[in-house]
Structure 1
């Protein structure tokens, strides 16, 4: 099978039938063997009924329905598990992503050898200060921390080599950082393609301002996990030791001052409290690293690694 197209959706019954027809038209014109996996993230409208109708009329369509709303990351993760195509393409169901991009995205993966190609909506139709400014700050922070030079990490239109999506797990709200997860899994050939951004035709956006706060929290999480998941003591132990040494040196200075200066007030000086807090924080960080090591060494996945080939 050439292409698996995964469409996560939530309350998009107005758009998915039109989107499905568009995908079929593009696949037919380019003679692609394909499947479309519609992942209904607990919709409360007629989305699932429409998917059932489309699947009954077209055996290229498959559907997955959640009992409740879990979020886009969960929908993508289940879609990745079910995908069978050599190239996997994800797109949103709101008609803002164009299926006309599918052939070129497939070519970039199949012929140009990219592991992952992310869309870049260079010209947007939702150019609002409350949406675009936080998005630019978020993308700049993601580029700096990950070293991946993408303009739009959160673009829903992406293409993957099958091996990539079978090697990663998407959870929480980590769908924004799939390129980072792919790089962490050893897939370094990550590209970008300018794609068409279409004005929303139906409904309203399902994402609020809180996604930006959650995005930065997830960025901190994935940065830490990617570097220290197998060796947490290297993080906690390093900073714990530094804090403890700072506190210990200050304490030593205060003790020497008390012994050598007659009227030296020990507890009335700010360094006394700074030293005390630094030593306590240092010990807590060190113990946190020690506990994390114990948990990691007893984890079922403590020695699980991604192996590309065996002889």
Structure 2
């Protein structure tokens, strides 16, 4: 029996009748992820199978040069997921941050979350996030990145990625005044807060920039939850590309200026 056939038998929560509203919109950014994107979709379905909420998955193919879009299209058809899973593929590279807000516009969920197309979020971490949905306005996952006592480390990425995450989080804490463990990753928001707090970032700094903006509202509630993260199984990460580095630098500047020089302060 093929892997997709097996998943089809295990996912009672998959096929929700199409309606005007769902509980959760899942945004999946995808750029040249033909080796990993279907595993990502399988992981999401597996994690959601133990819950009764209604959800939708929006896969944004960001101008991939490989077969990512074709594979997703075939996957949706083969597993009869039309109306719940949707592929958005326009052949243009806009960036993960720009598509994040486009997905929030397109979505129908009360809550909104991103899971990346490289299958780096384990099913156990997704389940932790789903279990906390509705407990606060923002659910913030953090990866316990360590250089010492590594047996307690929940960040299973390579040394450079761990070092970058630790350094970046320290910068954001200093620039924003917010004392969170972590500012990036698969944060769950109320979708209305995403739409009200758009930021111009196209790169991977979009989440930390928007999160800091959301948390400037004293009425917003949040919870932090410890999760795990894995290194991608194949392909090259986009975090260190020049285009993303420039975008992240812009996000850091705006985090600093919005917090310390905002007219509201």
State the TM-score, normalizing by the size of structure 2: 0.76
Distance of 2:46 and 2:171 partners within structure 1: 39
Which residue of the partner structure matches residue 115 of structure 2? 91
Report Cα offsets for 1:172-219 as digits up to 9, x if no partner.
Answer: 232332211212456532322111212322322122164456434421
Whole-angstrom distance in 1 between the partners of 2:188 and 2:155: 20
Structure 2 gaps of 5+ residues are 1-21, 145-153
Larger radius of gyration: 1
Tell me, yes or no, if structure 1 residue 219 matches structure 2 residue 252.
Answer: yes
Q: 1:150 to 1:10 in 2, by over 3 A?
A: same
Look up the match of 2:73. 52
- Which deviates more, 10-19 or 99-108? 99-108
Structure 2 SS opposite 1:7? strand
RMSD between superposed Cα atoms in Å = 2.5
Q: Distance in 1 between matches of 2:231 and 2:171?
A: 27
The answer to whether residue 196 in structure 2 is matched with residue 164 in structure 1 is no
Write the distance in 2 (CA, Å) between the matches of 1:179 and 1:39: 21
Per chain length, whose mean CA-contact separation is higher, i.e. which structure has more relative contact order (CA < 8 Å, sep 6+)? 2
CA deviation after TM superposition for structure 1 residue 105, in Å:
1.8
Greater strand fraction, Structure 1 or Structure 2: 2
211-220 or 10-19, which deviates more: 211-220
Q: Does 1:200 align with 2:200?
A: no
- Counterparts of 1:206-245 in structure 2, within 5 Å, are 206-208=238-240, 210=242, 211=244, 214-225=247-258, 228=261
- Kept in 2: contact 1:12–1:94 (CA 8 A): yes
Instruction: Identify the residue that residue 81 of structure 1 maps to in structure 2.
Output: 105
What TM-score does the superposition give when structure 1 sets the normalisation length? 0.65
Q: Distance in 2 between matches of 1:73 and 1:41?
A: 11
* Alpha-carbon distance change, 224 to 66 in structure 1, aligned in 2, over 3 angstroms: farther
The answer (yes or no) to whether the contact 1:125–1:197 under 8 Å persists in 2 is yes
Give the Cα separation in 1 of the matches to 2:225 and 2:91.
35
Question: Equivalent residue for 1:139?
Answer: 169
1 or 2, which has the higher helix percentage?
1
Deviations 1:267-297 (A, max 9, x none): xxxxxxxxxxxxxxxxxxxxxxxxxxxxxxx
Match of 2:208 among 176, 183, 188: 176
Structure 1, unaligned runs of 5 or more: 235-311
User: Are the counterparts in 1 of residues 142 and 225 from structure 2 also a CA contact under 8 Å?
Assistant: yes
CA distance in 2, matches of 1:169, 1:208: 24
Change (3 A) 1:38 1:186: farther
- How many Å separate the matches in 2 of 1:55 and 1:198? 25
In 1, are the aligned partners of 2:239 and 2:245 still within 8 Å (CA)?
A: no
Decide which moves more: 56-65 or 186-195.
Answer: 186-195
Query: Which of 84, 92, 106 is 1:68 aligned to?
Result: 92
Q: Residue in 1 aligned with 2:138?
A: 116
1: CA distance between counterparts of 2:42 and 2:254?
39
